[in-house]
Structure 1
Amino acid sequence: MKKDRREFLKSTVGLTALTSLVPAIAVGQSFSIESRDPDLGHVFLTSPYLQNPSPNAITVMFIVNLPSYSYVEFGESEELGKKAHKTENGLVVAYNRVNKITLLNLKPATTYYYRVVSKEISKFDPYNLIYGETIVSYIHSFITPSFEKDDVSVLIMNDLHERPYSIPHLMNLVDKKEMDFVFFNGDVFDYQEDEKQIIDNMLTPCCDEFASNIPFYFVRGNHETRGKFARELYHYFATPKEQQYYEFLWGVTHFTVLDTGEDKPDTDKEYGNIVDFDSYREEQLQWFKKVVQTAGFKKAKFRVVLMHIPFFHSDDWHGTKHLEKLFSSIFNDSKIDICICGHTHRYGVYSPDKKKHRYPIIIGGGPKEGNRTIISLKANSKQLSLKMMRDDGKLVGNYDIVPKE
């Protein structure tokens, strides 16, 4: 997807120079305030990327290198005309770098144009606020989902493991024209070390390829739970209700997203007694019991579960078996239609099994060349169709489902 040719107020030379950053969090200082290489002046670290879409709202995210006041200008034409910023408890969110701004009261099935603006705050005393440099992005556009539209088209990737070049490579294998959103099903990273890693290995290739115009969702894999920056990761994505596990309805299809956590026991010495994934998975079970009782879940033509670790056709590690113990029965009883996973690095399509899983399980491959996959899922009121493409363009899996009576 070609970038808009409108120029940044600030030269993109600054963005190139940022590849040499070595960010480190200062002790006692918020990660969202600490400046990244201030000698460059005020620059964008990412283009804007779209998150958590709905017919009436969408979240625009972007990162700058200096503490600032940032906002979004938007409208139904390139004249824009409207402005949005984030407020909390009567205060406009400012003197921050990671921006998460939701545009509200949008019209369904409508094209909107937008750009992001950031004003450096060079001095922030109690009674003396001074702005520094202002930077402005290109103008981008997006289309809001429709309340009336039955169909959905999704692209799904998993287990990229620090290979940012896999994102454009895989996406160029499929038809992106009717894509509603992209879903990253865990283990995009090997571990979480710092902000630069998130920008370089995910956000930049996503923005270059699609994310300023098409939204994406993300759920952690077991590798995203590791490293000193793992506890900051959620700040870089927006999800329904700001949870790491969530559900949403698109057209006639209901999506449940589970955060499967670590595959090792909580007591493993690597974690130093500072993880608690068993309780976290149990929390999600109680939540899912409520989800299956909702009208959105019950009335959906198709019920799709997206989760990183599959508890069948996988391994016998602790996390895998704990997930099986918790979710096996309720998945069968709630009549989910399909479960899409990653984790094993072995792609496969597994038909329903009356003794174990009464629904198909699809597992994407990765991360090495020759084993990477991209999954295309399309659904409407009559059929759900899934195709899995290997990185050489070969179709290596497909599954079609019609609605249950």
Structure 2
Amino acid sequence: MRTHVAVYSLFCVLNCAVAACRPDAVPESGPSVRDSAGVRIVEYGATPARAGPFVFSPQPLYRYGTGPEDYPFRSISRGALLADGSAAVIDALNAELVLIAPDGTFRGLLAGRGDGPGELDRPTAVFSLGGDTLLVDDHGHARLTFFGGGTVAREVDTRLLNRSLRVLGIGANGRLLMASGSYMPGFAEPWLRGHMVRFDPDAGVADTVGAYDWVRSSPREGPFNPFETGGDVTAAGGRFVYVRSDRPEVTWRNPDGTVHQIVRWRSSPAYPDEEHWRRFESSRRIRLRPANPHIQSEAEFEELVQTSLARYELAEDEPLPLISRPFGDREGRVWLGHYTVGWQVGGVSGYSILAPDGTWLGDVRTPRGVRLLDVAQGRALGVSRDEMGVESLVLYELLPAGTTEGT
């Protein structure tokens, strides 16, 4: 076993905890479906090997961010497609909400950094609520901001909520589905428990409706496994969707926390090697550069990289994660990312897509180097980063499988 050391990075550990791998897929005859005390159970005898229902268009419909007059993105974190085809994008380092027109041209800044109404501090998520209405989760100000018609429609103070909660999506009657989003290292239990919360923004009432295994315990000072498994929860079709990346299982929970559906399959473990470590090191370099713009000297930057890598350990005897950070699209489908080292900067190589009823729709290969932000109306919004670290926004069309060769 080779040991490497790294400075602790909460963001990286959390995202590595929810990284995933695509196990070897083998043909299967179809799932068994049964009802267990009102819970739909869908079980596959293997990892289904099926082509997905669509492919990405060979070229993006537009690419924005690399032109001399384009908005200079520093760190695209989240994005949402609006009903008219335009896109709202969060630039995390600039703390700005950028609007891009349907044709891929700059529409304007909807919100920027500041403490006034509609201004942002640390925006973590943006959601389209239909029409031109947007919801922005701003952790820095502990508030939810609703935009409509290009202006602030209302703001909801969330200071009385747990500051670690993050918005996942929208449930029934406009209630927000939320989950835990930060933690302190060094806890003694085998797993840190996360919580699913239903929040009524009109009444200001939050209900904790469920708990789940979230982050594995690790030494406070390291060494840390860069490919650690963990739990993650998203929202799809108005329900919570939970995965734990060390087991082939997806669980849907209703907004009240009751289990609605479980999908299981069989998979074989895969283990990390030196190539995984090299890719991890490369992704760390890419991520550290924009986060430390004050470092100009290459020697100083290299010292930072080595310090950052210094407290991670390549655990060759521990399996890679099975499931990446999932997300739900507007049609209620669940996308399970195939394991890709450094997906936070280089995207996920492909996804396995599950229908709302748990049917395994198949696998879709994503364009090289693209990290998806949102899927809606037959289109996929993503972010791409070039070799110089410059980010651009890309929009792809989702074409029926077999009509064209995907990227």
Normalized against structure 2, the TM-score is what?
Answer: 0.28
Normalized against structure 1, the TM-score is what?
Answer: 0.28
Higher normalized helix content (fraction of residues)? 1
> RCO (CA 8 Å, sep 6+): is it higher in 1 or 2?
2
